[in-house]
Amino acid sequence: MTAAVTLVAIMVMLAGSVTGASADAEVAWNALIEGNQRFAAGLVRDRHLVPARNAVIAGAHPRAIVLGCSDSRVSPELLFDQGLGDLWVVRTAGNDPDPGAEASIDHAVDALGVDLVIVLGHDGCDFAANIEVAVNRAATDVAARSETVRRALAAGRLVIIRAVYDPGSGIVRRIP
């Protein structure tokens, strides 16, 4: 492992506890977990989609970026009980941050000012034998490959949270 990759791995591990963005990101994360608890309990909010659609016409203001798997069973907006425009969702096979995913994440961090990235894996993923290892690797790769993300982490403007969804229970759990 190179010194730069080691430094990035350390920045990702520490990002959730030492950055200036951590308070806002933690509030956003807690709101998403509350939504996930509603989803798991089958008590999701009513979605008034026409007014919501009209409200987001002027522009995107997502509370978090979710890098997740393209698996059709894992829809972040539903898992976190969020509405239109609440999440900037980037989906790839096995939540691998390919160049297209990186560009999408960079845009949300740089142009939209999003301060929370959630790397979301799921149990039973066809692309990862050990989902926690895959999620941790993807989180490190997001920071290692993106100058925008590295700068935001270093400046304390961004937090990366690693999480895994259990399709059986409906629960999303944060992993170290």
CATH number, residue 32 = 3.40.1050.10
pLDDT at 145: 94
pTM: 0.87
d(CA 93, CA 84): 23
Query: How many C-alpha atoms does 173 have within 13 Å on its Cβ side?
Result: 10
pLDDT at 34: 97
Percent residues over pLDDT 70 in the chain: 88
pLDDT at 54: 78
Write the burial class of residue 30 (CB in 10 Å: 0-12 exposed, 13-18 middle, 19+ buried).
exposed
* pLDDT averages per 10-residue partition of the chain, 176 residues: 49 44 88 97 86 79 96 95 94 93 97 97 95 96 95 95 98 96
pLDDT at 15: 44
Which has the closest alpha carbon to 109: 163, 162, 62, 144? 62
pLDDT at 90: 98
Domain count, the chain: 1
Segments forming the whole domain that contains residue 11: 3-57+65-175
